Amino acid sequence: MVKIGDAFIRSLEKPIILWLLYHKPRHGYELIAEFKRLTGRTLKPSIVYPFLHRLEKEGFASSQWTIKGKRKIRHYALTKNGEELLRKVRETFTKPVKEFLMEVIGEKKKV
């Protein structure tokens, strides 16, 4: 049976990836490591890389190859369209939704 907390975090994987890219360009493994640091949960490469490729294909991200030692690493960054997409995702979590979620998870509304 799927744990509720895991299911909830899985639903936030892509918005968290967008948010991380908003702060600075990152490569896939860096996204996976930062997600683990923030949530304590493992983000699968099968989620990250197809999502990054889709963001780039649809113009929400751009990528640039860099060389680190003998390895080529692809860093992704949000474009202006990607930043707009993140803004729209954030709007989804408007104040009434936040209040609802706080009630659902047991935090009392401050008066």
Q: C-alpha 82: how far from its chain's center? A: 12
CATH number of 64's domain: 1.10.10.10
Q: Where in the sequence is the domain holding 90, given as residue range(s)?
A: 4-104
The two three-digit tokens of residue 46, written as one number: 């099968």
- Its pTM stands at 0.77
Query: 3-state DSSP call for residue 83?
Result: helix
Between CA 97 and CA 100 the distance in angstroms is 5
Whether 28 maps to a domain, the answer reads: yes
Going residue by residue through the chain, which has 111 residues, state the pLDDT in tens, using 9 for 90 and above: 567 777 777 788 999 999 999 999 999 999 999 999 998 889 999 999 999 999 999 999 999 999 989 999 999 999 999 999 999 888 877 667 667 667 667 665 554
Domain count, the chain: 1
